[in-house]
Each structure stands twice: as C-alpha cells, then as structure tokens.
Structure 1
Amino acid sequence: MQTSTHPRTQQLTTEQCIALLQDAAIGRLGVIVAGRPEIYPVNHAVHEGDILFRTGSGTKLDAAVGEHVAFEVDGYDAETKTAWSVLVTGFATEVARLHEVLDLLRLPVFPWEPGAKPHLMRIHPETISGRRFAAVDLLRTFAT
C-alpha cells in the first residue's frame, strides 16, 4: 500500500485508482525471478476490475502465472503540475478457456513489441492504492 507522510499528498479512492488504471497507456508488472524482483513494461486493459495483458512465452510468463504480482502505473499532469501513482497487488493467472480468450481479445490489449504474444494474462487485484501529489519542479530545484 502506498502511503506518504507529506500533508498535501492525497490518498486516492479505489474508484479513482481504477479510472487512472483504465486511462494509462502502459504499466509495469513486478514479479520475482530466481528470488529477485524484476519489472516489465506491459500494455494493459482493465476489464470487470481485473488487469489484462498479453505476453509471449518466457521469463515474464513463467514468473507471473499462479503467483502474487505487483502492477503499477503513474503519470503527470503538466497543467496542474501534479503527479500520481497507482499500485495494485494481486494474483496472476493465464486466461485459458477458449470462449473467454475470444471474448477478451476484443479489448485494446496490443503489445508494442513485435512477435507472438499468445498468452493472455489476468491480474485479479487484492489491494489497490494510489496517491496524487504536487510535483517538484526539478529544473528550478537544481538551478538554485
């Protein structure tokens, strides 16, 4: 769960977090590989509260299937000079039933990396937390 001791940091509601998850173009999947954390960028969609993404065979798939994972998205609003971050933890499974795969493939889950991505993954959230905060103007900070 994301928390902050800064008084102006706003804790986001679950509904706000889900809206930000839906709007984010890319997220990061956190898994454990050989006892160490690894993070992979993935394109995703949110469907009925679950996070969906496609992947090929390999390390990411092997580390995620049947395991607890983390998924994070963040962003910056230049107009309001605020940043936000949403963290989801949950259990990852591969969508295996053909009728379900065919139904979910209509969602906009299109990997940027070329190559076959035949595995459709689902993260069922156990926790969802997020925060919004005023972003520091790094150029001004380092110039003074």
Structure 2
Amino acid sequence: MNYNLPSHLSDLPIYRKALDIITLSRSISTYLNHDLSYLNPDGSEDNNIYFSGDIVQQSTNLAPEIINAERERYSDKKHKHLESLDRLTTRLYSNCRRLERSNSNGRDYLPILRGELRKFRKLQRNWMMTL
C-alpha cells in the first residue's frame, strides 16, 4: 500500500499498527464471509455479513487519515482528521463486538483484532500529543 508517504511516516508506530490492522481485518473478514454467506433456512441472509465488510472498509481508512493528519498544516483541519480517526476506531471496535455474536467459527479471531485496536488507541493518544 503506497500513499506517496513522507519519509518519516513509514517509521511511525501508529502507521505500522494501522497496516497490521488492515491485514488482520481483511483476513478475518474473508474467513467470516465463508461462514456468513449462506442463506438462513427461511431464505434470508445473515445480517452480520455486512459488518464483516465494514471492518475492512473502516480499517482501510485508518492509514489515509494518519497520512492526512501528518500532512495537514493547519490545526483545525488536523483535528478534523484526528476526530475522523477516532470515529473509525470506535466503529471498528463496535463492529468487532457485533461480529463476535455471529454464528461463525471466525468470531474466535475477533478478540485478536480488538486487542490490536486497543494497542492502536494507546499509540493514537501518544501520537496525537506530538502533532
């Protein structure tokens, strides 16, 4: 994934953790989709399959928000990117919680992703102080 990074950005722990979260969420979503793609006995689909796509979309947006916050010169615009990053992290965490209640063998891997999100939040708080 290359977003035309400034040279220092690839060294940031928060950016590397965001890339780890992207990889992990894609793997978990792929695993969950195999279990959740089947129709229920009444012909309806499992609503949790949409949450598996949401975790991929939200995790994919973490790295660009970090890049945008690092590149931004003005503090008010920088804070908008930081708020967006916080919202993405919160939604990602809550979607992991929802998926843990799904009827899939892949739900056992979601606590790993939530643990990585907790580490990301700690890195995020420290990183925000440096901006």
TM-score (norm 2): 0.25
More helix by share: 2
More strand by share: 1
TM-score (norm 1): 0.23
